Amino acid sequence: MARLFDAYVIADWTAAEGKKLGDQSVWIGVAKRDVRFRLYTETHNVATRAEGEALLASILADHRKRGDRVLVGFDFNLGYPVGTAARLGLKDTPAWSAMWKFIAANVVDKADNTNNRYQVAAKMNRLMTDEAWPLWGAPAKQTQRWLTATKPPQGSGDIPEFRATEMAARKGKLQPKSVWQMHGAGAVGGQTLVGIAAVRRLLETWGPSAAVWPFGTGWRALEAADLEPLSTLVVEVWPSLYGAVPAAGEFKDQAQVRVTAETLAKLDEKGDLAKAFAPPKDATPELIAQVETEEGWILGV
């Protein structure tokens, strides 16, 4: 069975302020084949998101020149819980694209890693509920009327805490965090804001040869023919799914991007990756529409 991809790139992002290497910084893992078609992995660590974005652009440009098709996984949400775009008053459709446009227009992420993620979170709360809800979590100096340091009691309305994909993951032993949490151990809210802005910029440079799963492909098993026009397919990954154990001298995040890239490459080798793009057998038409137009899904859940 033909492989769907020639290389697998996994980016572990961060929302950190200031330049940083090692733990809790930007790591990029690449699994690809050498001239004898043997799989090998390399990992890269950069001190800022801007450097990470430039490195991704360069890695993908090299593969594009070779005519390779690349799977690119990011470890943050590519979508928000159903109804978020409507609550923000966004009129464009599909909802995921309206959210990306809103985030790109509001997030300022400078070359030295300083960014305005807490101000954007507060603005989203003001527009959605006019309370410090649903986004929460900030260092004391970033708190304000619309953003609290700790999780408030649930505010107005019935805003879901999790997307359907996190609810599915939580049925197992996994405990993904809610995208509404902006600060604290394992919080993904901040890196989702700066991350989506970065992915949108990259997609603009890649043009129609890139798509985001499942938004641009549909939530279904993918075959080589479905990917024919693409050189890059962007997906959401959750490295915790793959149980990475750091080798001697390896950082935790470094091990996670390496193992995630290797695992996806091996699944593709066996012909099993195609099925990972399909919904669970019990997915209703309503859930499929929700995932394809607004929420997205974590590959492998």
Q: 169 CB contacts (<8 Å, ≥6 apart)?
A: 176, 238, 298, 301
pLDDT band at 146 (very low <50, low <70, confident <90, very high): very high
| pLDDT, average across residues 277-284 | 96
DSSP 25-39: SEEEEEEEE-TT--E
Total structural domains within the chain: 2
Q: Is the pLDDT of residue 109 over 80?
A: yes
Residue 43 — pLDDT band, cuts 50, 70, 90? very high
Same domain, 32 and 108: no
For residues 45-57, give the mean pLDDT.
97
pLDDT digits (tens, 9 = 90+) for 121-139: 999 999 999 999 999 999 9
On whether both 88 and 184 belong to a single domain, the answer is: yes
Q: How confident is the model at residue 153 (pLDDT cuts 50, 70, 90)?
A: confident
- Mean per-residue pLDDT for 47-71? 96
Give me the DSSP letters along 232-258: EEEEE--GGGG---PPTT--HHHHHHH
> Within 10 Å of residue 59's Cβ, how many Cβ atoms?
20
3-state secondary structure of 280: coil
End-to-end CA distance of the chain: 23
Range of the domain at 110: 84-92+101-189
**At which of 189, 220, 240 does a domain end?**
189
Q: State residue 65's pLDDT score.
A: 94
For residues 206 and 269, state if they share a domain.
yes
Identify whether the C-beta of residue 32 lies closer than 8 Å to the C-beta of residue 6.
Answer: yes
pLDDT at 157 over 80: no
156 has pLDDT over 60: no
Residue at 78: amino acid letter: L
Say what percent of the chain tops pLDDT 90: 89
Domain boundary among 189, 215, 232: 189
Residue 140 placed within a domain: yes
Same-domain check for residues 127 and 64 = no
Both 182 and 222 in one domain: the answer is no
| Res 173: pLDDT | 75
Domain-terminating residue out of 120, 155, 189 = 189
pTM across the whole model: 0.96
Same domain for 159 and 108? Answer: yes
Domain for residue 182, yes or no? Answer: yes
Residues 119 and 176 in one domain: yes
